[in-house]
């Protein structure tokens, strides 16, 4: 019990500490690839601290919801990120929310953020919210198909169990390959990275996430930036935990195994950051109404993966 | 070993089905021909794996023919053809990706349901191969049905034949002469279609089949 | 718990409706009436819960009313107790709400007498134990609700809504009548006990299923029989809309469950397939229709269609699992469906009450004329937000729990032997996820356009908070939504006897699971703890707030909106309901609704405004109902000639029929 609790708490603090670092790594590598010097990898920490110290400017037409949403979004994303096994599978509270519940928690955060976009009553917020819910409406079925494929292979939707079963080897499966590609597509769409959305844009035609949080400033914006960094870390950890589970310390392992697990996890995050940065540099942003085709490909891959599993199981 | 053989065959055949689905939503002729070429390459790999697993050396020859003819010769010829016809930059607009993809997935599910029900007492590898092969055939037909451009219909027809080859290699002991005659007849059909395409283009200045329909209408 | 006290309660409600006729004229009349209805509903609710919790044996009673050789039978078992509880919880909430808002009715004598009768009819439907009593109560329910729909008969479109409703309701009753006739068989035993023992061939069972889907399904709102729902539900007064959407559709679900699971005997797997498929397309089409609406109450009515689809998905899965002998999975699916019945009643009533509050405060139902109501109506906006979060199936509220249970049931479907089911179940799972995501989108739109942003009209600017009774009803429902979300184990255990009575299997007892989690199948497979998730989110939010307030700046300044430096003072420039739905309309609507947007731009120099016209067509109405109506009109035209025959022609007609019947009699074997 005690080591389960300590693993859980250390994971909660670890994800909070590593999230801005991941964003910093992605930005630094992108800058290098574009032959710029770029900011240091610790810059997001400084950004969040700077925003937190500033005065928050709230629009006159904003309601009470506007000031509450950043805390709710941050809380929901943090709780979800704390329940995805990162360096150990023995989380004390991993049984309280399975993969479907984690996805739904992220959906809650997105719901409130979309409401905040509508709150001030400008057209920017509306454009962000309407596009965000369109992307979400296509990403959710794809995610459920991926969950279905994973649950068919592992026999459970509890992430610790899935990680342990995948750690013990499942063989070379085309369905898992398809699920991986589909999950990467969904992760890109949900986190608002290129080619779905540009996290560094100032042009309204290319905005989805930025348009929703346009009116936020000060400590509210700091919380929202931290929440979106946590979301990126969550998806990276999810992919790492399910598809590259080597290095995860099983429940009840000694302390040094956990340390090794943490080091491996940091390595996986760095690799994920590198791959994301390279991918974002290689590809151009899509027009908004090509995003449904992009996510449709993820849905198709997820469904095909599940179908192919039926074939191999049904014999 | 048995497990690995099954897994790799599953992987390759599943990739062929995936590439057939990708053929459905390509809207540029250039990438369409490239995806078809990739499908032929994966087909050659799958056939050679079957040759190794089933210990049937003549299948290596089938794989080599598939690779040479369908992965190299025909795509190169098609690329040349569309460049001569001048439609290599064309984008087809008649597609509605969502319903087409759903229909494609439905066809895959249907073929699996049918084959796995009908062949309940056969070898695992053969059954699975047949199910995937039927999916590829049906998807090739769907590609032909949802396309307006004659060249893309030819590609659909070719991918249909890929499915037939997949089925043939899965069922053990298909005689080689049947194999050769099927491939030869497809090659002849391809040449004939190619000639027709040029004639159509000369006459009507387009290879868009809907334009041909209009001509037929106005003659009445 | 015997049936007699519950019947007495229903009779008291009927008496109340008669007493309402003189009471309607007095100024305090409606408060008295609704107060009494509230008290009676609470008593009935207490009785139902008592029966459920005590786990008593079914009780029945036979009254010598009605048909001479049958009388009327009434029965209280676990299934009726559950639906009775749902009905009366909705009835109590509506009565409490109406004590506040009901005073604003322009013609109270059109509403007050029918309201208690409606409540009584719904209670009697659930308690009925033979076909005649059931159908009588069913028709009475339709008629009283029709009267309530026609209460605002002077408003445009309400007469048409009432007409469509009564036609569909009559058609539904006819289908149910035929179904009961088939179930009774040539022996003619019309009480449910006789129908249970009467064996039917699979062909007859299929026909009964189709008839029940037509009858009870049209009342519940399955696509394509849903067309009356978005016309009739918004036309009624708000508390009645809440009852119709939240409770009457559940009475229809009760009818379906009673007939298909209880009276029909062992199901076949393809019945599960049909119900599952209908549920899936109903869910997705319902929410897509809802997204195209900008009338708040119509949006909520279409949403009811979606939730009914979700319930039918659960019921279809339960049928499929039961047909294949997978008892535990069937129990899970059934519990998920019944849980959603409760959840939907809770949050749909809450949302309709909120819409009624908005209508009362502003006089507008059209979202395009509202906006910014969160500042003037803070309490209403808060409880409406709770309802929106609940209906969008977001943790930690109750909508998520029933959806999670449905997904867990779908994850068990690969063990089904039939291929069609194996493929259909995950496909429906994908449709369920799609409908959940679209529902969240729909409610961001509904809440965002109505309560957030800037007021779009004078009425929205001048809105005032609604009264205490309405707020009390809404808050009670919101608290129940939260409770059902964080303590789902109790609800699942309460549903245990119900599923046990229907499919001889129940979900494992949840009360013994540690930390109040719910474990549907096995702990290694999946579990969910609503209380912990809620506690974690609340604790994290509080922790973040404390850290921020300790270490960061707490200053706040109000300023004009940033809007990238070009703020527009006119509130018409913010996103409206149709503009919010535009991306989704473009992705899904072009194929399903033939949604077309047309821009009419006058030439340059012309001072006229440009016009954007959005056309959305209801294909179900155009392809199914319009031809049927035209066909019926054509046949009536032809048959009209029979009115104008001469005497000789009438005589020859009678003669011909007589000769024909004699021929038949002569050649009958």
Distance CA C136, CA C109 (A): 24
Q: What's the pLDDT tens digit per position in A153-187?
A: 888 888 888 888 888 877 767 888 899 999 999 99
Cβ atoms of B132 and B165 closer than 8 Å: no
Residues of B in contact with C427 (CB under 8 A): 109
Percent of chain B whose predicted confidence (pLDDT) is above 90: 10
pLDDT digits (tens, 9 = 90+) for C379-416: 999 999 999 999 999 988 999 999 999 999 998 888 88
Taking the Cβ of residue A250 and every Cβ of chain C, the question of whether any pair is shorter than 8 Å is answered with: no
Q: Residue A315: pLDDT above 50?
A: no
Chain C residues touching residue A119 (CB < 8 angstroms): 448, 452-453
Mean pLDDT of B134-156: 85
Contact pairs from chain A to chain B, CB under 8 Å: 58
Q: Which of A76, A137, A222 sits opposite C434 (nearest CB)?
A: A137
Would you call C540 and A75 a contact, using CB atoms and an 8 Å cutoff? Answer: yes
- pLDDT at A276 exceeding the cut of 90: yes
pLDDT band at B54 (very low <50, low <70, confident <90, very high): confident
Share of chain C above pLDDT 70, in %: 99
pLDDT number for residue A121: 86
Share of chain A above pLDDT 90, in %: 50
Residue with tokens 């109505």: C450
In terms of CA atoms, which chain C residue is nearest residue A107? C394
pLDDT tens digit sequence for B162-207 = 888 888 777 666 666 666 667 777 777 777 777 777 777 777 776 6
Cβ of residue C35 closer than 8 Å to a chain A Cβ: no
C176's CB contacts (< 8 A; 6+ apart) are C134, C135, C138, C211, C212, C215, C216, C255
pLDDT at B219: 52
Contacts of C233 by beta carbon, 8 Å cutoff, 6+ apart: C241, C244, C245, C297, C298, C300, C301, C304
- pLDDT confidence of residue C279: 94
Alpha helices by DSSP H, listed for A120-173, are 123-154, 159-167
Q: Inspect the interface and report whether the beta carbons of A311 and B128 lie closer than 8 Å.
A: yes
Of A72, A93, A313, the CB nearest to C541: A72
Whether the per-residue pLDDT at C669 is higher than 70: the answer is no
Chain A residues with CB-CB distance to B10 below 8 A: 173-174, 308, 311-312
3 state DSSP class of C428: helix
Q: How far is B114 from chain C (nearest CA, A)?
A: 9
Q: Which two tokens stand for residue C68?
A: 């001479």
Longest dimension (CA), chain C: 102
From chain B, pick out residues whose CB is under 8 angstroms from the CB of C270.
none
Question: What's the structural domain count of chain B?
Answer: 1
For A142, which residue in chain C has the nearest alpha carbon?
Answer: C430
Q: Which two tokens stand for residue C126?
A: 């659930």
- Give the CA count within 13 Å in the CB-facing half-sphere of C320: 31
- Tens of pLDDT, residues B83-92: 887 776 666 6
pLDDT more than 70, % of chain B: 82
pLDDT of the residue at C28? 78
pLDDT at C650 over 90: no
pLDDT surpasses 60 at C623: yes
Residue C388 near residue C351, CB atoms below 8 Å: yes
Would you call B96 and C591 a contact, using CB atoms and an 8 Å cutoff? yes
Of A107, A131, A219, the CB nearest to C553: A219
What confidence category does residue C453 fall into, taking pLDDT thresholds of 50, 70 and 90?
confident
CB-closest option in C419, C587, C591 to B116:
C419
Residue numbers of the domain that contains B73: 2-219
Of the two residues C67 and A40, the one the predictor is more confident about is A40
Residues whose CB falls within 8 Å of the CB of residue A190, separated by 6 or more in sequence, listed in order: A106, A135, A136, A139, A231, A235
**From A139-148, B131-140, C523-532, the region with the lowest mean pLDDT:** C523-532
The answer to whether the Cβ–Cβ distance between B18 and A178 falls below 8 Å is yes
Q: For residue C655, give both structure tokens.
A: 């003669």
- Average pLDDT score, chain C: 89
C420 touches B at CB < 8 Å: yes
Residue of higher predicted confidence among A205 and C613: C613
CA of B118: which chain C residue's CA is closest? C419
Q: Determine the pLDDT at residue B95.
A: 60
In angstroms, the separation between the Cα of residue B113 and the nearest Cα of chain C is 6
CA distance A173 to chain B (A): 6
Pairwise CB contact (< 8 Å): C591 & B113: no
Report ipTM (2 d.p.).
0.93
What residues of B are in the C interface, CB distance below 8 Å? Answer: 96, 98-99, 109, 112-113, 116-117
Structure tokens at B134: 């039927």
Q: Give Cα A178 to chain centroid, integer Å.
A: 19
pLDDT confidence bin for C130, thresholds 50/70/90 = confident
3-state secondary structure A232-297: HHHHHHHHHHHHCCCCCECCCCCHHHHHHHHHHHHHHHHHHHHHHHHHHHHCCCCCHHHHHHHHHH
Chain A 66-95, CB below 8 Å of chain B: which residues?
none
Tell me the shortest Cα–Cα distance from A274 to chain C, in angstroms: 30
Predicted confidence at residue B220, as pLDDT, reads 46
Q: Which residue, chain included where needed, has tokens 């992605």? A: A26
Instruction: Give Cα C54 to chain centroid, integer Å.
Output: 28
The region of weakest confidence among C62-71, C147-156, C360-369, C618-627 is: C62-71
Residue C515 pLDDT > 80:
no
Range list of H helices, C221-268: 229-235, 238-243, 249-257
Going B136 to B138 to B141 to B145, the CA torsion angle's sign is negative
Q: Is the pLDDT of residue C419 over 80?
A: yes
In chain B, whose CA is at the least distance from the CA of C588? B98
State the average pLDDT over residues C555-559.
Answer: 89
C282-298 mean pLDDT: 92
Q: Give the number of other Cβ atoms within 10 Å of residue C400's Cβ.
A: 28
| Contact: C423, B113; criterion CB under 8 Å | yes
When pLDDT is averaged across residues B69-91 and rounded to a whole number, the result is 80
Do A288 and C583 make contact, defined as CB atoms within 8 angstroms? yes
Q: With an 8 Å Cβ cutoff, are C419 and B98 in contact?
A: no
The DSSP string of A184-217 is HHHHHHHHT-TTT--TT---GGG-SHHHHTTT--
CB contact under 8 A, A300 and B4: no
How far apart are alpha carbons A21 and A87 in whole angstroms?
Answer: 17
For the segment C507-524, the average pLDDT, to the nearest whole number, is 78
Asked if the C-beta of A141 comes within 8 angstroms of chain B's C-beta atoms, the answer is: no
Among A23-32, B50-59, C552-561, C618-627, name the one with the lowest average pLDDT: B50-59
Confidence bin at A129 (pLDDT 50/70/90):
very high
CB spacing of C374 vs A63 below 8 angstroms: yes
Query: Taking CB atoms and an 8 Å limit, are A122 and C452 in contact across chains?
Result: no
CA C254 to each of CA C134, C197, C271: distance values in angstroms, whole numbers, following the listed order:
11, 20, 17
pLDDT the model gives residue B174: 61
Q: Quick check: helix, strand or coil at residue C130? A: strand
Could you say which DSSP state residue C69 is in? Answer: T
| Contact by Cβ (8 Å): C169, C156 | no
- pLDDT band at residue B143 using 50, 70 and 90 as cut-offs: confident
- Which of B6, B18, B139 to mutate to probe the A interface, most A CBs <10 Å? B18
Task: Check pLDDT > 80 for residue A278.
Answer: yes
At residue C202, the pLDDT reads 86
A52 touches C at CB < 8 Å: yes
Average pLDDT score over residue span C413-438 = 90
Sign of CA dihedral C143, C149, C152, C153: negative
| Test mutation, C453, C487, C519, C592, chain A, max A CBs within 10 A | C453
Separation in Å, CA of B160 to nearest CA in chain A: 19
Cβ contact A296–B128 (<8 Å)? no
Using 50, 70 and 90 to split pLDDT, how confident is the model at C142?
very high
By residue count, chain C amounts to 669
pLDDT at A223 over 90: yes
Q: Does A171 touch chain B (CB under 8 A)?
A: yes
Interface check C420 vs A, CB under 8 A: no
**Domain range summary for chain C, segments of one domain joined by +:** 266-487+520-545, 619-666
Q: Which of B75-79, C30-34, C222-226, C341-345 has the highest mean pLDDT?
A: C341-345
Q: Average of pLDDT values for C466-494?
A: 91
Residues 6+ apart with CB under 8 A from C72: C62, C63, C65, C66, C128, C130, C132, C133
Query: In Å, how far is B9's CA from the nearest CA of chain A?
Result: 10
């Amino acid at each position: 019990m005690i080591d389960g609790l300590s693993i859980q708490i250390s994971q909660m603090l670890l994800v909070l500490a590593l999230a801005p670092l991941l964003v910093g790594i992605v930005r630094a590598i992108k800058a290098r690839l574009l032959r710029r010097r770029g900011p240091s990898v610790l810059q997001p920490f400084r950004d969040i601290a700077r925003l937190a110290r500033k005065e928050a400017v709230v629009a006159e037409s904003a309601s009470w919801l506007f000031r509450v949403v950043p805390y709710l979004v941050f809380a929901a994303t943090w709780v979800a990120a704390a329940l995805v096994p990162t360096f150990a599978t023995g989380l004390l509270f991993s049984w309280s929310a399975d993969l479907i519940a984690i996805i739904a928690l992220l959906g809650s955060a997105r719901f409130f953020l979309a409401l905040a976009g509508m709150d001030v009553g400008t057209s920017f917020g509306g454009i962000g919210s309407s596009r965000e819910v369109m992307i979400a409406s296509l990403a959710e079925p794809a995610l459920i198909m991926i969950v279905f494929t994973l649950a068919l292979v592992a026999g459970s939707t509890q992430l610790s169990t899935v990680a342990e079963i995948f750690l013990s080897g499942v063989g070379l499966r085309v369905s898992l390959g398809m699920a991986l590609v589909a999950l990467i597509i969904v992760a890109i769409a949900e986190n608002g990275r290129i080619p779905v959305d540009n996290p560094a844009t100032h042009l309204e035609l290319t905005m989805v996430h930025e348009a929703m949080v346009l009116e936020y400033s000060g400590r509210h914006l700091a919380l929202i930036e931290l929440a979106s960094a946590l979301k990126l870390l969550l998806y990276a950890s999810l992919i790492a935990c399910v598809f590259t589970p080597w290095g995860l310390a099983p429940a009840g392992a000694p302390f040094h195994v956990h340390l090794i697990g943490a080091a491996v996890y940091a390595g996986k995050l760095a690799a994920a950051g590198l791959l994301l940065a390279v991918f974002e540099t290689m590809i151009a942003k899509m027009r908004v109404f090509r995003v449904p085709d992009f996510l449709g490909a993820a849905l198709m891959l997820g469904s095909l993966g599940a179908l192919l599993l039926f074939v191999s199981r049904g014999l | 070993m048995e497990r690995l053989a099954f897994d790799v065959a599953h992987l390759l055949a599943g990739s062929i089905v995936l590439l057939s689905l990708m053929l459905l939503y390509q809207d540029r002729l250039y990438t369409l021909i490239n995806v078809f070429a990739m499908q032929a390459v994966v087909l050659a790999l799958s056939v050679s794996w079957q040759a190794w697993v089933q210990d049937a050396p003549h299948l290596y020859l089938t794989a080599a023919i598939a690779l040479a003819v369908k992965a190299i010769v025909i795509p190169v010829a098609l690329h040349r053809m569309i460049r001569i016809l001048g439609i290599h930059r064309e984008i087809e607009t008649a597609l509605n990706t969502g319903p087409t993809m759903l229909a494609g997935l439905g066809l895959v599910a249907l073929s699996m349901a049918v084959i796995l029900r009908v062949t309940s007492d056969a070898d695992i590898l053969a059954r699975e191969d047949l199910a995937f092969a039927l999916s590829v055939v049906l998807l090739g037909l769907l590609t032909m049905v949802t396309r307006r451009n004659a060249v893309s219909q030819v590609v659909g027809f070719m991918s249909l034949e890929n499915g037939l080859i997949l089925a043939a290699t899965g069922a053990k002991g298909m005689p080689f002469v049947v194999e050769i005659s099927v491939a030869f007849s497809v090659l002849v059909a391809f040449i004939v279609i190619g000639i027709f395409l040029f004639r159509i283009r000369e006459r009507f200045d387009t290879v868009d089949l809907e334009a041909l329909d209009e001509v037929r209408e106005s003659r009445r | 718990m015997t049936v007699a006290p519950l019947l007495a309660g229903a009779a008291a409600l009927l008496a109340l409706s008669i007493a309402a006729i003189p009471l309607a004229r007095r100024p305090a009349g409606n408060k008295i009436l609704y107060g009494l209805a509230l008290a009676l509903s609470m008593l009935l609710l207490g009785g139902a819960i008592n029966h459920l919790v005590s786990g008593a044996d079914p009780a029945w009673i036979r009254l010598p009313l009605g048909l001479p050789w049958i009388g009327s039978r009434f029965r209280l078992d676990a299934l009726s107790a559950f639906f009775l509880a749902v009905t009366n919880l909705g009835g109590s909430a509506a009565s409490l709400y109406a004590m506040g808002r009901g005073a604003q009715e322009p013609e109270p004598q059109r509403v007050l007498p029918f309201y208690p009768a409606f409540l009584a009819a719904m209670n009697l439907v659930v308690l009925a134990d033979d076909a005649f009593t059931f159908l009588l109560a069913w028709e009475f329910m339709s008629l009283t609700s029709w009267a309530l729909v026609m209460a605002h008969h002077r408003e445009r479109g309400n007469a048409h809504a009432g007409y469509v409703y009564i036609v569909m309701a009559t058609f539904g009753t006819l289908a149910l009548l035929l179904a009961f006739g088939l179930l009774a068989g040539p022996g003619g035993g019309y009480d449910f006990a006789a129908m249970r023992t009467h064996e039917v061939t699979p062909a007859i069972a299929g026909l009964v299923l189709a008839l029940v889907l037509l009858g009870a399904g049209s009342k519940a709102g399955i696509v394509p029989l849903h067309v009356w729902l978005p016309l009739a539900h918004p036309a009624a007064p708000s508390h009645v809309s809440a009852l119709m959407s939240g409770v009457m559709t559940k009475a229809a679900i009760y009818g379906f469950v009673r007939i298909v699971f209880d009276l029909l005997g062992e199901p076949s797997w393809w019945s599960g397939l049909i119900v599952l498929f209908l549920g899936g397309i109903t869910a997705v089409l319902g929410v897509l229709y809802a997204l195209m609406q900008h009338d708040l109450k119509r949006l909520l009515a279409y949403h009811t269609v979606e939730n009914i689809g979700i319930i039918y998905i659960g019921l279809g899965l339960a049928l499929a699992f039961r047909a294949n002998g997978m008892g535990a999975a069937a129990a899970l699916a059934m519990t998920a469906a019944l849980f959603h019945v409760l959840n939907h009643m809770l949050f749909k009533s809450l949302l309709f009450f909120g819409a009624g509050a908005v209508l009362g405060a502003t006089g507008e139902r059209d979202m395009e004329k509202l906006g910014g109501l969160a500042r003037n109506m803070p309490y209403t906006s808060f409880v409406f937000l709770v309802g929106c979060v609940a209906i969008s199936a977001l943790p930690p509220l109750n909508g998520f729990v029933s959806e999670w249970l449905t997904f867990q049931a779908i994850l068990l479907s690969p063990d089904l032997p039939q291929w069609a089911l194996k493929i259909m179940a995950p496909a429906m799972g994908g449709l369920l996820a799609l409908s959940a995501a679209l529902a969240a989108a729909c409610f961001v739109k509904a809440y965002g356009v109505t309560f957030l942003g800037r007021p779009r009209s004078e009425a929205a600017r001048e809105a005032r908070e609604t009264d205490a009774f309405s707020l009390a009803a809404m808050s009670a429902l919101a608290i129940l939504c939260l409770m059902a979300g964080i303590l789902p184990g109790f609800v699942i255990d309460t549903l245990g006897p119900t599923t046990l009575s229907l499919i001889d299997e129940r979900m494992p007892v949840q009360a013994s699971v540690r930390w109040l989690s719910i474990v549907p199948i096995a702990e290694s497979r999946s579990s969910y703890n609503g209380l912990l998730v809620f506690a974690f989110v609340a604790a994290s939010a509080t922790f973040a707030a404390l850290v921020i307030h300790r270490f960061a700046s707490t200053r706040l300044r109000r300023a004009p909106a940033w809007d990238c430096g070009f703020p527009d003072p006119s509130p018409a420039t913010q996103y409206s309901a149709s503009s919010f739905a535009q991306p989704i309309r473009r992705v899904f609507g072009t194929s399903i609704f033939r949604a077309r947007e047309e821009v009419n731009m006058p030439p340059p120099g012309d001072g006229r405004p440009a016009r954007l016209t959005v056309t959305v067509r209801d294909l179900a109405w155009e392809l199914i109902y319009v031809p049927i109506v035209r066909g019926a009109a054509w046949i009536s035209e032809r048959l009209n000639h029979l009115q104008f025959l001469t005497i000789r022609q009438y005589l020859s007609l009678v003669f011909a029929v007589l000769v024909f019947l004699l021929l038949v009699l002569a050649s009958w074997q």
